[in-house]
Amino acid sequence: MSALEINEVRKTFGNTEVLKEVSLAIESGEFLILVGPSGCGKSTLMNAIAGLEPVTSGEIRIAGRDVTWCTPAERDIAMVFQSYALYPSMTVRQNIAFGLEMRKMPRGEREAAVERVADLLQISHLLERKPSQLSGGQRQRVAMGRALAREPQVYLFDEPLSNLDAKLRVDMRTEIKKLHQRLGTTIVYVTHDQIEAMTLADRIAVMRDGEILQLGTPEAIYNDPVNRFVAEFMGSPSMNLIEATLEGDAGQGYRLRIATPGEDDLCLPWPRPTEALASRVGQRVLLGLRPEHFAEHDARLDEAAQGAPFSARVSVAEPTGADILLRLPLGTGEVTARVGPRCPAVPGERLALRIDLERAVLFDGESEQRLA
Amino acid sequence: MANVIRRQTPLARLGRMALYATLILAALFYLLPLVVMLLTSIKPLEEIRAGSLLALPLAPTLEPWAKAWGEACTGMRCEGIGGYFWNSFAIVIPAVLISTLIGALNGYALTQWRFKGSELLFALMLFGCFIPFQVVLLPMAQTLGWLGLASSRAGLILVHVVFGIAFTTLFFRNFYVAVPRELVAAAKLDGAGFFRIFWRILLPVSAPILVVSVIWQFTQIWNDFLFGVAFSGHDTQPVTVALNNLVNTSTGVKEYNVDMAAAMIAALPTLVVYVLAGKYFVRGLTAGSVKG
Ligand SMILES: Nc1ncnc2c1ncn2[C@@H]1O[C@H](COP(=O)(O)OP(=O)(O)OP(=O)(O)O)[C@@H](O)[C@H]1O
Ligand SMILES: [Mg+2]
């Protein structure tokens, strides 16, 4: 039985359809992350799950129970808001205890629950303060404490860390991960931050315009995107998409011809033929290469094991410390390649590289759906 | 802006002094009527007839005040305005509390529990702020008759509440519209209902606007004359009506000192409220949103 099940939920505001038949199911203890560009309906979906906005059609089930028309209180859900939404007139202790009090938990148990949560989040020393006397990070903890005190079926986090500074965000990310591993809670979590998405999620749902484009593990989303949008949305720096012409046939194997102005055409053998490719021969396709799919040519290694050779004039080299990001002309634009920190790349000079096509992906030039 | 650093040139200092002098003069000018009233109210009658309006009393006396309170004639009766003073309180206090409470609930519902047409409803309610009192005198009299509340204290309270709601709703709606909606969402998820959220979450942060609403309503209702004269009975007249009767009673000599003392008594509560809480009034009107 799924902890949370959403079946063909639609939501319209007037004439605009904000959610279009969204369906997903989350197992108990699973950490699901919703990502997508601003305005794609993430918050709307969260509000629908929480019962703060009625859905236009569809069904929502929590722990097997149909809650589509239940009030927020009846759904057994806790939510952490981006703005924290702490009750300004109450102390931290009262903030955490409020939900328990509303659910008629006896005072003794309530106190114990507050202490437990305060211990867990290391906010025991703040219990008598008002929210206005707390820092951003402390407020964030209290907001989480308020949710954790209740032990509901499902936790909803709507961009809980986006108001924190970068350092604190990384710390809290780790803590949330630890908490999840320790408590085994079921979480739906909205974020704009891809690193948060990749590191925290058991599964990621990528949304656009009110639809879930892909739902899968972080690895699947990163390595096997279903279309160009997902491919470009996840990963930083984002995936390079290079226009190419598909040549060859199923018998001899397919090749990708990439025309770069001022250079000879580059012809790459495509290692993983699929049936969809046969009908695309002679047409425009998009080759998707992540920056780490490029590597420096290494003369000591076996030629065949190194992937397809490629050389280009380096236009920019950006050392990040751990590695170097190179900008190189390929196809109609420039691509980003990630190479080791010792790579002797000099801007303006040619550099021999290798392309690992085994991990590359191919999209249709028109529909931008995945081909291979 | 109080601590803007600026070099004090002699010219600037002169300008500043001129500014203060003007302000003080203006303040004195506005205070003059009050001063005259106060001085007149503690002078014996002979002194008023003989001396100038602004002369200090030679033999100050509180007798006019005592007379205004307990003996002066208001029409047929000669019991002073003391009883009517308490009448006013008996009308004003419930009317202020009820209209403020309803306004707060309206503002809360209009902002945090929006429904189809809630904005339109609010716009229509705003009309209530601009309706001239005279327009409703007759229909209101008829309505009170139907309700069996004619000439009663409850009827007058009802009229003031109905008229006050437009203003109090405006105050509270504009205050609560700045309260983040997530605050109420969080409370809903925590299991609190409509009234509980209002009582536990919203009301505790409403002090600034409560002060505004109470002061506004208190002054409006206390100072009301028209509704008082139209809808109250002999025993339920507010002090403003009694004051009018007292001043207009034409038996015997005109006792200016008693008139002035009565006027002072009638004006005192609003003065006191304003002096004690005026600072919060301004602060409340400019209060920003509630930080979560
Ligand atoms: N009450 C409303 N009335 C009309 N349109 C709305 C309403 N609430 C949201 N929308 C629209 O629905 C769309 C989705 O909004 P939503 O808040 O879910 O986006 P989001 O994915 O959470 O974006 P962000 O990442 O910026 O938080 C937006 O285009 C928004 O304008
Ligand atoms: Mg959002």
Between CA B121 and CA B119 the distance in angstroms is 5
Q: What is the pLDDT at residue A212?
A: 96
Mutate to test the pocket of ligand 1, among A9, A10, A18 (most ligand atoms within 8 A of CB): A18
Q: Whose CA is nearest to atom 25 of ligand 1?
A: A38
What type of residue sits at position B168?
A: T
CA distance B169 to chain A (A): 22
Nearest to B239 by CA among B231, B228, B230: B228
Kindly tell me the burial class for residue A342, based on how many C-beta atoms sit within 10 Å of its own C-beta (0-12, 13-18, 19 or more).
exposed
Instruction: State both tokens at A297.
Output: 């040519």
Kindly tell me the burial class for residue A192, based on how many C-beta atoms sit within 10 Å of its own C-beta (0-12, 13-18, 19 or more).
middle
* A69 CB within 6 A, ligand 1: no
CA distance A180 to chain B (A): 21
Q: Which of B190, B191, B292 sits opposite A131 (nearest CB)?
A: B292
pLDDT of A258-304, one tens digit each? 999 888 899 999 998 888 888 989 999 999 999 999 998 887 777 77
* A100 CB within 6 A, ligand 1: no
| Cβ distance of A50 and B187 shorter than 8 Å | no
The dihedrals phi and psi of A203, each to the nearest 5 degrees, come to -135, 150
The dihedrals phi and psi of B245, each to the nearest 5 degrees, come to -60, -40
Between CA A1 and CA A26 the distance in angstroms is 9
Q: What is the pLDDT at residue B292?
A: 45
CB A371 within 8 A of CB A276: yes
Asked if the model's pLDDT at residue A324 lies above 70, the reply is yes
CB A12 within 8 A of CB A56: yes
Ligand nearest to the CA of A38: 1
Q: In chain B, what residues touch A79 (CB-CB under 8 Å)?
A: 185-186, 189
Nearest to B190 by CA among A162, A121, A28, A110: A110
The dihedrals phi and psi of A212, each to the nearest 5 degrees, come to -90, 115
Q: Is some CB atom of chain A closer than 8 A to the CB atom of B288?
A: no
Q: What is the pLDDT at residue A171?
A: 87
Between CA A96 and CA A127 the distance in angstroms is 9
Q: What is the pLDDT at residue B203?
A: 94
Place of tokens 């699947």: A220
Q: Within chain B, which residue ranges are assigned CATH 1.10.3720.10?
A: 82-286
CATH code for the structural domain at B82-286: 1.10.3720.10
Asked if the model's pLDDT at residue B176 lies above 80, the reply is yes
Most confident of A245-259, A286-300, B187-201: B187-201
Cα(A49) to centroid(ligand 1), Å: 15
| Topology of the domain comprising A240-364 | OB fold (Dihydrolipoamide Acetyltransferase, E2P) (2.40.50)
Q: What is the pLDDT at residue B168?
A: 96
pLDDT of A117-165, one tens digit each? 999 889 999 999 999 999 989 999 999 999 999 889 999 999 999 888 8
First to last CA, chain B: 27
Domain A4-233, CATH homologous superfamily name and number? P-loop containing nucleotide triphosphate hydrolases (3.40.50.300)
The full 3-state SS of B145-207, as one line of letters, equals: HHHCCCECHHHHHHHHHHHHHHHHHHHHHHHHCCCCHHHHHHHHHHCCCHHHHHHHHHHHHCH
Between CA A212 and CA B150 the distance in angstroms is 65
Q: What is the pLDDT at residue B189?
A: 94
**Beta-sheet strand order (sheet of A31-35):** A77-80, A154-158, A187-190, A31-35, A203-208, A211-216
Asked if the model's pLDDT at residue B279 lies above 60, the reply is yes
ipTM of the complex: 0.84
Q: Whose CA is nearest to atom 19 of ligand 1?
A: A39
Checking phi first, is residue A253 left (phi over 0); if not, alpha (psi -120 to 50) or beta?
A: left
Asked if the model's pLDDT at residue A39 lies above 50, the reply is yes
Asked if the model's pLDDT at residue B5 lies above 90, the reply is no
pLDDT of B242-256, one tens digit each? 999 888 886 777 888
What type of residue sits at position A328?
A: L
Mean pLDDT of chain A: 92
Q: Which of A72, A83, A88 sits opposite B205 (nearest CB)?
A: A88
| pLDDT confidence band for B2 (50 / 70 / 90) | low
Asked if the model's pLDDT at residue A247 lies above 80, the reply is yes
Beta strands A361-364 and A284-289 are antiparallel
| Cβ distance of B191 and A52 shorter than 8 Å | no
Q: In chain B, what residues touch A47 (CB-CB under 8 Å)?
A: 185
pLDDT of A171-215, one tens digit each? 889 989 998 999 899 999 999 888 899 999 999 999 999 999 999
Cα–Cα distance list, B61 to B217, B254, B260 (Å): 34, 18, 13
| Cβ distance of A132 and B291 shorter than 8 Å | yes
Q: Is some CB atom of chain A closer than 8 A to the CB atom of B178?
A: no
Q: Is some CB atom of chain A closer than 8 A to the CB atom of B114?
A: no
What are the residue ranges spanned by the domains of chain A? 4-233, 240-364
Name the percent of chain A lying above pLDDT 70.
100
Asked if the model's pLDDT at residue B72 lies above 90, the reply is no
Mutual angle of helices A42-50 and B181-190, in 10-degree steps: 40
* A38 CB within 6 A, ligand 1: yes
State mean pLDDT over B220-234.
Answer: 92
Mutate to test the pocket of ligand 1, among A11, A15, A43, A191 (most ligand atoms within 8 A of CB): A43
State mean pLDDT over B135-160.
Answer: 92
Q: Whose CA is nearest to atom 9 of ligand 1?
A: A44
Cα(A161) to centroid(ligand 1), Å: 19
* A44 CB within 6 A, ligand 1: yes
Q: In chain A, what residues touch B186 (CB-CB under 8 Å)?
A: 79, 81, 85, 87, 146
Cα(A221) to centroid(ligand 2), Å: 21
pTM reported for the whole predicted model: 0.83
State mean pLDDT over A224-253.
Answer: 92
Kindly tell me the burial class for residue B262, based on how many C-beta atoms sit within 10 Å of its own C-beta (0-12, 13-18, 19 or more).
buried
Closest atom, ligand 1, to C-alpha of A45: 18
Closest atom, ligand 1, to C-alpha of A46: 18
Q: What is the pLDDT at residue B274?
A: 84
CA distance B196 to chain A (A): 9
Q: Whose CA is nearest to atom 17 of ligand 1?
A: A43
